[in-house]
Amino acid sequence: MTRHSLHIGIDRYDDLRIRDLRYCTADAELLASFFRDVAGYESVARLDNPSRGEILDAVAEEVTRLESGDLLVMTYSGHGMRIKDERVIMARDSRYELAQAGVDGFPLRLLKDRICNAGVNLALFLDSCPSEFAGPRGLSLVPPSSAQVQRDLVLGVPCEGPALFIMSPDTTLEIEALGHGLFSAALDRALRELHAKGPFVISDEIRVRTEEHMKALCRANGNLSSPNVILSMTSGVKINFW
């Protein structure tokens, strides 16, 4: 099995209605360094502030290089929202009004269709909000208290075929002392801790360890409560992470 990873961080957005972020490209480099320097993946690619076309091109390139049964790990740090009950991540050139109308953004369904339909196993980690109201990496300027956070991914995980593993926080936090998003910083710590123990299969243990590190980082940085981690995965499929 060949293992590739693709890391996307978007701090800057062309549309002035979408506020810029601070630590997303730093998140992408942090996680890329783990898969490149620690886990020793065969290919590690990184995109800083890509357009929608550049994301599509990168995904298409990975599909052509990977074979059925291989593993692609993708991480994304940036704005997210939900459009017509579908989870969407935003590219640098996404437009706020078009996204709200359901004709912009990058739906997770498109990743599933492009990657899993090619027989490639996909592990996707999102440091973005599950809806546009949930913290600093949701699009809207409306306070988080004004809307409920959608906790389901509405993705249609397949029962057969390639493994699909998706993990993200239910609310994002950016912590200045860390210079990273909370979820990305905790995920990096969890992955390094698990890697030190030897061979590892993708499982719920990643979520558990990431939540533990999120809670510890929140306590250390003066936050009384920590977000939960949302996990969606194909059951009964064991894929070697390293």
b/e per residue, 175-202, with b = 16+ CB within 10 A? beebebbbbbbbbbbbbeebbeeeebeb
User: Which range (81-95, 136-150, 208-222) has the least confidence?
Assistant: 136-150
Confidence at residue 233, expressed as pLDDT on a 0 to 100 scale: 87
**Structural domain includes residue 133:** yes
pLDDT in tens, 142-189: 333 333 333 233 333 344 568 899 999 988 888 889 999 999 999 999
Pairing mode of beta strands 121-127, 164-169: parallel
Mean pLDDT rounded to a whole number for the chain: 85
**Structural domain includes residue 149:** yes
**Structural domain includes residue 83:** yes
Confidence at residue 88, expressed as pLDDT on a 0 to 100 scale: 86
Domain count, the chain: 1
Whether pLDDT at 48 is above 60: yes
- Among left, alpha and beta (phi > 0; psi -120 to 50; other), residue 84 is left
H or E segment to which residue 207 belongs: helix 205-220
**Structural domain includes residue 17:** yes
**Structural domain includes residue 238:** no
Confidence at residue 145, expressed as pLDDT on a 0 to 100 scale: 33
Structure tokens at 204: 């719920």
**Structural domain includes residue 241:** no
**Structural domain includes residue 153:** yes
Arithmetic mean of pLDDT, 87-94? 90
CATH of the domain at 209: 3.40.50.1460
**Structural domain includes residue 239:** no
Range of the domain at 165: 3-233
Which residue is associated with the tokens 């592990």?
123
Confidence at residue 107, expressed as pLDDT on a 0 to 100 scale: 84
Which is more confidently placed, 125 or 107?
125
Whether pLDDT at 80 is above 90: no
